[in-house]
Chain A
């Protein structure tokens, strides 16, 4: 499962650095769910972890390399108050999006599978 997470993470990061689309955090877990997940929980877990880590690490990276001011302002704009809460909220968004995408990928496969 850890290996699956790392692979998903690597694929997402690669696609993300090439293109600006945010929805790789849903698309990649969804495909993982269709192709490889062994259970709905696994689809959810791998999607959740890889997407969450991708956005958590991304946020931390940009926060620590000159993002202090923008984080403070956006946190104020979104009425979250602190950059840490903002980063937590960003991670939560990715966790939910990646998790449900991976989960629904798995259920799509099982729904279409011929018995």
Chain B
């Protein structure tokens, strides 16, 4: 009996111990996690308190940190080593988990944290050679003495913070996912640069699709439905700008190579979405007489935010802006003399080469009639709770063969059996550009800094107190013959290789243009007279056109005007096409509900405001219409084709109203554009009613298509969802259904005293228990912006300063 009691009681106790001590499926180990003295409660807002003193081993001298009321650190160091050491340390204080998680996600190491569910994703990242790319970059970064020292200082700073941690003050996510941070290394900083490079260049991997379209439709129809040069443009460099150089353009090989690739991804509407705006106006157009520069990069919005705001001051530099947690420097920002901002170039720097291996060992491949050896890289993927998985990746001189012919690609756009050529794999040192931009005093410094920048290509807008404004479409872009890289290439033939690079000085650029401003919004960079062949996933031109339309009209510009322009939600696509579509509707045939919707559209001013219903109706209508026009035409014997980009559809409606594409092939009748307009309108209203109920406030744009800011690791409860944001894909204040938007808005007014404003959706702290985790989100939704505190000395006084920390080194 005694034994029975023991067995029963101890059985329950041991069961409880087991349940509480170990993680189960999605649950953290509950004992550890719930224990108030070491678990999640320790990540409360008490950790927001600013320490007056920090003893930090590794600093050469003391460092003063002033904190403002938004928890932005203003770091004053006596030497550069200490400056970047402190940047690493303080960034880690607020963002350690994010820093490390992004690196694991880049290096193909997520399986170590979450187990085998991430295995295919990890294998994919290994196959595209992310670590290989980072290793090549790191070699360059370490070759240059200045970037080497700074990288080492930053690394030491991050590790200084990691070593100060005990298990009870680990960031919350480590407790939820039950693991511990490992040491930071310079390679991890290089990996973060590659994380950005891949995010910003990888939607140029659609060559497979266009190759299939060519086989299915022929050259003329492919060019019509998927034009290289967009049907509507307002390029970055004003049209008509002369190109005063003799271009060296390689000749197209006389080869009629037909790729053997037969796989066909299913039809989806491809919408490039990571974009950005930047512009600079010259002093002639501003009320102060000095230039103003603005920038808002559009990236996936997560919590914690991708940006960390910071001011870095040493005897050599005083720069303010946003940094990427994981790399030193300010990425977009300003100092007292210059300001700069970035938008994604979109120019294609990834091509595919079909490879012929000698045999199944894949140790040799054919190139110019000779067998060349491949380089073999064995990837070891550790999997939590399981055996390590080994994977072999075969590298040709083009790059890695990402998937073999027999394998199903993780990303369906990747052609099996082809090697990937990507500028991101080449040795480069982008950090040198940021080092120099942070310290630039004038246009020449900026121009020099840009020459070190390779990938991901960016449009660098610039303004200086001296009065210069400029923009460069900058990066390492392949020198291509006409049409090269649009389709899958012959990997056996050297004439298909990239023939070099577009010379830096001949890249699209403009300095102090007559129109008094420069701007970019990811559109095609030039008119059709630019001599070099550029191809890529350029974004629809409307955002850029709206910026240019407004800037051209404005005079005596103030920073407030620029803040208003960043929040502008006039949609040029709707403005162009909606009146035409409405004129096609026969009101007599509409029901009462449909007439109400029609009236909403009729009285709309084309602004995508959260509280309006018309944007929602228009979006649904356009989607239905586009599907009705194209879906029946997208079937081919080779598989489904992709619906053409939106502007191709718009152009078809405006210029070829009798096109055969308007007939729905699957019906015996011959439909016209008007038939489709009314059918799609009725179908859209029906869909809206089914999905959102009858016409009511539920149809408001901000409710029907709110913005979700998910937690970076998709942990429920740690994000902000259903934010009633303004904007559309082609308004200046950009909103994309994949939750992409202005990840940082910055306005810099240069002058005798530089003044600046900025906001990003999130907060400085990565701790979900902090009041600074998401404190800026609501203000960001409302279009507000904060004045930025550009301090000159650690003794500056300001009402927005909240505290001071002295970081002591070894005494």
Let me know if B12 is at the binding interface, CB within 8 A: yes
Q: What total of chain A residues lie within 8 Å of the partner, measured CB to CB? A: 43
Given contacts A73-B717, A110-B2, contact A55 B35 (CB under 8 A): yes
Let me know if B17 is at the binding interface, CB within 8 A: yes
Let me know if A35 is at the binding interface, CB within 8 A: no
CA distance A55 to B717 in the complex (A): 23
Instruction: Report the minimal beta-carbon distance from B159 to chain A, rounded to whole angstroms.
Output: 21
Given contacts A67-B45, A67-B769, contact A104 B715 (CB under 8 A): no
Given contacts A26-B16, A62-B36, contact A69 B771 (CB under 8 A): yes
B44 near A100 with CB under 8 A, answer no
Instruction: Report the minimal beta-carbon distance from B44 to chain A, rounded to whole angstroms.
Output: 4
B42 near A62 with CB under 8 A, answer yes
Residues of B near A70 (CB, < 8 A) are: 40-41, 43-45, 172, 768-769
Q: Which of B3-11, B461-469, B570-578, B621-629 contacts A (4 or more CB under 8 A)?
A: B3-11
CA distance A61 to B43 in the complex (A): 13
B9 near A76 with CB under 8 A, answer no
Find residues 144-198 in chain B having any chain A CB closer than 8 Å to their own CB: 166-168, 172, 176
A61 near B36 with CB under 8 A, answer yes
A97 near B20 with CB under 8 A, answer yes
Residues of A near B493 (CB, < 8 A) are: none
Given contacts A69-B45, A107-B5, contact A17 B37 (CB under 8 A): yes
CA distance A23 to B46 in the complex (A): 25
Instruction: Report the minimal beta-carbon distance from A4 to chain B, rounded to whole angstroms.
Output: 18
A40 near B9 with CB under 8 A, answer yes
* Nearest residue, chain B, Cβ from A18: B37
Let me know if A7 is at the binding interface, CB within 8 A: no
* Nearest residue, chain B, Cβ from A115: B2
Residues of B near A111 (CB, < 8 A) are: 2-3, 5-6
Given contacts A20-B167, A104-B10, contact A63 B41 (CB under 8 A): yes
Let me know if B32 is at the binding interface, CB within 8 A: yes
Given contacts A22-B31, A26-B17, contact A58 B36 (CB under 8 A): yes
Let me know if B716 is at the binding interface, CB within 8 A: yes
Let me know if B770 is at the binding interface, CB within 8 A: yes
A100 near B9 with CB under 8 A, answer yes
Given contacts A20-B166, A96-B16, A107-B6, contact A68 B37 (CB under 8 A): no
* Nearest residue, chain B, Cβ from A12: B37
B13 near A100 with CB under 8 A, answer yes
Residues of B near A101 (CB, < 8 A) are: 13, 16
Instruction: Report the minimal beta-carbon distance from A52 to chain B, rounded to whole angstroms.
Output: 12
Let me know if A10 is at the binding interface, CB within 8 A: no
Residues of A near B168 (CB, < 8 A) are: 20
Residues of B near A100 (CB, < 8 A) are: 9, 12-13, 16
Residues of A near B16 (CB, < 8 A) are: 26, 96-97, 100-101
Let me know if B30 is at the binding interface, CB within 8 A: yes
CB < 8 Å: which of A20, A74, A103, A108 contacts B37?
Answer: A20
CA distance A73 to B172 in the complex (A): 11
Given contacts A65-B44, A70-B769, A108-B10, contact A23 B21 (CB under 8 A): yes
Given contacts A62-B44, A66-B45, A111-B2, contact A90 B13 (CB under 8 A): no
Secondary structure of the A side of the interface? helix
Residues of A near B176 (CB, < 8 A) are: 77
B5 near A40 with CB under 8 A, answer yes
Residues of A near B718 (CB, < 8 A) are: 73, 77
B37 near A66 with CB under 8 A, answer no
Let me know if A30 is at the binding interface, CB within 8 A: yes
Instruction: Report the minimal beta-carbon distance from A86 to chain B, rounded to whole angstroms.
Output: 9
Residue among B30, B35, B770 facing the most chain A CB atoms (10 A cut-off): B35
B773 near A69 with CB under 8 A, answer yes
CA distance A61 to B444 in the complex (A): 59
Residues of A near B48 (CB, < 8 A) are: 66
* Nearest residue, chain A, Cβ from B176: A77
Instruction: Report the minimal beta-carbon distance from B723 to chain A, rounded to whole angstroms.
Output: 16
Measured as residues with beta carbon below 8 angstroms from the partner, the interface class of chain B is 35 or more
Instruction: Report the minimal beta-carbon distance from B174 to chain A, rounded to whole angstroms.
Output: 13
B31 near A77 with CB under 8 A, answer no
CA distance A90 to B35 in the complex (A): 8
Let me know if B34 is at the binding interface, CB within 8 A: yes
Residues of B near A79 (CB, < 8 A) are: 716
B44 near A67 with CB under 8 A, answer yes
A103 near B39 with CB under 8 A, answer no
Chain B 687-699 interface 0/1 with A at a Cβ cutoff of 8 Å (1 = within): 0000000000000
* Nearest residue, chain A, Cβ from B37: A16
Find residues 91-112 in chain A having any chain B CB closer than 8 Å to their own CB: 93, 96-97, 100-101, 103-104, 107-108, 110-111
* Nearest residue, chain A, Cβ from B166: A20
Chain B 644-664 interface 0/1 with A at a Cβ cutoff of 8 Å (1 = within): 000000000000000000000
CA distance A108 to B32 in the complex (A): 26
Residues of B near A50 (CB, < 8 A) are: none
CA distance A69 to B768 in the complex (A): 8
Instruction: Report the minimal beta-carbon distance from A81 to chain B, rounded to whole angstroms.
Output: 10
CA distance A97 to B192 in the complex (A): 44
Residues of A near B770 (CB, < 8 A) are: 69
Given contacts A77-B718, A111-B2, contact A20 B17 (CB under 8 A): no
Instruction: Report the minimal beta-carbon distance from A55 to chain B, rounded to whole angstroms.
Output: 6
* Nearest residue, chain A, Cβ from B36: A58
B30 near A93 with CB under 8 A, answer yes
CA distance A97 to B773 in the complex (A): 34
Let me know if B38 is at the binding interface, CB within 8 A: yes
Instruction: Report the minimal beta-carbon distance from A56 to chain B, rounded to whole angstroms.
Output: 9
CA distance A100 to B16 in the complex (A): 9
Residues of B near A67 (CB, < 8 A) are: 41, 44-46, 769
Residues of B near A78 (CB, < 8 A) are: 717
Given contacts A16-B37, A69-B771, contact A22 B6 (CB under 8 A): no
Find residues 29-77 in chain A having any chain B CB closer than 8 Å to their own CB: 30, 40, 55, 58-59, 61-63, 65-71, 73-77
Residues of A near B20 (CB, < 8 A) are: 22-23, 93, 97
14 extra interface residue pairs, beta carbon distance < 8 Å, beyond A26-B13, A63-B41, A69-B769: A20-B38, A23-B21, A40-B5, A58-B35, A62-B44, A66-B47, A66-B769, A73-B768, A74-B717, A76-B716, A79-B716, A93-B30, A97-B16, A97-B31
Which residues of B come within 8 Å of A, CB atoms?
2-3, 5-6, 9-10, 12-13, 16-17, 20-21, 30-32, 34-48, 166-168, 172, 176, 715-718, 768-771, 773
8 interchain pairs, CB-CB under 8 A: A20-B168, A22-B34, A40-B5, A62-B44, A66-B45, A67-B44, A68-B45, A100-B13
Question: Which 10 A-B pairs have CB atoms at the shortest separation, nearest pair first?
Answer: A58-B36, A70-B769, A77-B717, A76-B717, A20-B38, A62-B41, A22-B35, A66-B46, A66-B45, A67-B44
Which residues of A come within 8 Å of B, CB atoms?
16-17, 20-23, 25-26, 30, 40, 55, 58-59, 61-63, 65-71, 73-79, 89-90, 93, 96-97, 100-101, 103-104, 107-108, 110-111
